[in-house]
Amino acid sequence: MAFDLGSALRSLKPQRRTGGLERRPDSALSWAGDQPPVGSTLLLDTSVYLDVLQGRTPEVVDDLLTYRLCHHSAVCLAELSHVFGRLDPAHPRTKPVLKVVADTIDDIPAHRLHAPDATAWGRAGMLAGLLFRLSHLPKGEGHERRVLNDALIFHQAGLLGATVLTGNVGDFDYLSQLVPSVGVIFYRSAPGLHP
């Protein structure tokens, strides 16, 4: 499984980009409320799973999840399964939380779960580094790893010909500015059932 660095450099041209990235106004973004329920295939960002579990998805997002074909990323699987190691087993809320997350993971159809390959990792790493540099995020606060996961999901959507569905407006706006050919549908979380 080889990674063609030259091809990635020619495609993304990271060294030619020197200006900064600024968050675009909402009117320049594609919002869930402006989308028909039936349409392009979706690749879900981790924010979608978390908002669904907390009852914070707007009705228009629930409609998209009901009527559109949804793909899932192994990156989101890793972010979800992280809680199984992270949460304190002695805490009284850990067991019910892990049950809900386990049920969510079990509901992901195996044939719709996609893992990034070496090319996706290489290109996503380059894209994440570019986003980090151009957006002037502070160093040493974990942003680089978070942005790498977002770049992996974003790049996977492009490979699948899918549109990313996300509540993460900031990072995915930047990513879509860097690679405008990948579609992104944004939403804002509604007040949830849980704090």
- 11 domain residue, yes or no: no
Q: In this predicted structure, what is the pLDDT of residue 1? A: 60
- 15 domain residue, yes or no: no
Q: Which domain holds residue 144?
A: 29-185
- 190 domain residue, yes or no: no
Q: List pLDDT tens digits, range 14-37.
A: 888 888 888 999 999 999 999 999
Using alpha carbons, select from 95, 107, 116 the residue that is nearest to residue 159: 116
Residues paired with 31 in a beta bridge: 186
Q: What is the CATH number of the domain that holds 55?
A: 3.40.50.1010
Site of tokens 């973004």: 29
Domain total of the chain: 1
CB under 8 Å to 195, separation ≥6 — which residues?
none
Q: List pLDDT tens digits, range 167-188.
A: 999 999 999 999 999 999 999 9
Three-class SS state of 12: helix
Angle (deg, nearest 10), helices 46-53 and 94-106: 120
The model scores a pTM over 0.85: yes
Distance CA 157, CA 70 (A): 11
Residues paired with 166 in a beta bridge: 186
Residues of the chain with pLDDT under 50: 194-195
